[in-house]
Amino acid sequence: MLSSRTIEIIKSTVPVLERHGTSITKRFYQTMFAAHPELLNLFNHANQSQGRQQTALANVVYAAALHIDKLESILPVVKQIAHKHRSLGVTADQYPIVGKYLLGAIKDVLGDAATDDILQAWAEAYGIIANVFIQVEEGMYAQAEKQDGGWAGFRAFRVARKTAESDVVTSFYLVPADGGAVAAFEPGQYISVRLDIPGEANTHIRQYSLSDAPGRPYYRISVKREDALPGKPAGIVSSYLHAQVEEGDVLHLSAPAGEFVLDLADKRPLALISGGVGLTPMVSMLKAAAEAQPDREIAFIHAARRGDAHALRQEAEQVAAGSPRVSTHWCYSRPSASDRETGAFHKEGYVDLSWLKQVVPTTDASFYFCGPTPFMKTVYAALRSWGIAEERIRFEFFGPSGSLREAETTESIRA
């Protein structure tokens, strides 16, 4: 337990962390990777280069300082991060390394303001926080390995089928290379794919949502090819999967992980809202809910640029065709001439609250959503302005977690 003096010192640093948190985490990653380049194998380099990982860590450090006297209040965040750590293969012996360079970064950025008392208090606090992560992750590792069909670390899977779902999304059907069973998962969870790409100095690991329902003899991931944009290079891993990985090839996967899962004990009407490739966990949830809860009202809402960028549409429509309680609703921001001719979409432009009220005719529903961060910020804002209770709103970021709450006044939802 931390002393009252240590807690007092940690809380006194909250305003400093609010101002300088990202500078500290940038310095932390810089110095840690210089001393331990092997840890680069655990991180998404794109998130590093775009600053998303640094911002996410700064938010966690800030939250830990703010709630240092009641760390149980940030346990949901701990569990979410621990799932990612388990899927990446983070080990207990790496936590002292992180602590050393995090404290060094605090000293480097704050200079003389980082007194011996402050550094000692943070060293004690980090030890407590690290131990919480280690204990939670130990339980997750044990559960992943001991469940039926489970395994530790990464397991070889063969690509049984590769299917183009749109002009930018391709699905990979993955079966165990050893011929064994696949571990169960909850709709909404993800797996990590570990790749050694020719010409790349480091191993790359990426998380991809499982896009089919549980209970199949395979895992399916549906991967968007991240093409180059001004100021943003093409995605190394997604480009490699699309262009180089073929049926019969072997990929190495972690066991399924993730806290963003469908609550099948909930009987309220269900709204599944997605933008772009954020529909992948939503399709898994849709199919699982329709199979397990045939009497549940489900509205599946998806925003895409146009029809040829709309993946897995036929699957969702097939589910709706098989159940009078499932409805699908499409919004295209830039529909093609063909989309207009065929009436392929229900709304042109962007999703707005008035349309959400039309397709989800009750506020007594549970809402799940996923997609690009701007999309999620405005979905969240729309739901909160509609009066939807916080406990009935569930969402997940693809990549490091961010904040949605600063956008509560935004009116439109952009895919």
Distances from the Cα of 121 to the Cα of 10, 47, 63, 269, 348, angstroms: 7, 30, 16, 48, 55
Q: Write down the pLDDT at residue 221.
A: 98
Tell me: domain 4-146, CATH 1.10.490.10, correct?
Answer: yes
Share of the chain above pLDDT 70, in %: 94
Q: Write down the pLDDT at residue 405.
A: 52
Distances from the Cα of 353 to the Cα of 93, 95, 186, 383, 408, angstroms: 48, 44, 30, 8, 12
Q: How far apart are alpha carbons 365 and 267 in whole angstroms?
A: 9
Catalytic residue numbers?
95, 137
Low-confidence stretches of the chain (pLDDT < 70) are 47, 49-50, 398-415
Full-model pTM:
0.92
Q: Write down the pLDDT at residue 231.
A: 80
Please enumerate, by residue number, every residue annotated as part of a binding site for heme b.
85
Pick the CATH number of 155-253 from 3.90.1150.10, 2.40.30.10, 2.30.40.10, 3.40.50.1110: 2.40.30.10
- Residue in this structure with the two tokens 């965040």, named with its chain if needed: 77
Which helix (H) or strand (E) element contains residue 355?
helix 353-359
Q: Write down the pLDDT at residue 232.
A: 84
Structure tokens at 231: 């100021």
Helix%, strand%, coil% for the chain, nearest 5: 50, 20, 35
Provide the residue ranges of all domains of the chain, joining segments of one domain with +: 4-146, 155-253, 270-413
- What CATH number was assigned to the domain covering residues 270-413? 3.40.50.80
In the sheet with 155-164, reading across from the earlier edge strand, the strands are 204-209, 190-195, 250-253, 155-164, 169-176, 219-224
Please enumerate, by residue number, every residue annotated as part of a binding site.
85, 190, 206-209, 276-281, 397-400
Q: Write down the pLDDT at residue 410.
A: 31
What DSSP line would sit under 144-175, residue for residue?
HHHSTT--SS-EEEEEEEEEE-SSSEEEEEEE
Q: Which residues contact 281 (CB under 8 A, 6 or more apart)?
A: 187, 188, 189, 190, 209, 210, 211, 260, 370, 396
Structure tokens at 36: 């331990």
- Report whether 295 contacts 320 (CB < 8 A): no
Q: How far apart are alpha carbons 99 and 123 in whole angstroms?
A: 7
- Report whether 42 contacts 90 (CB < 8 A): yes
Please enumerate, by residue number, every residue annotated as part of a binding site for NADP(+).
276-281
- Can you state the angle between helices 4-12 and 14-35, rounded to 10 degrees? 90
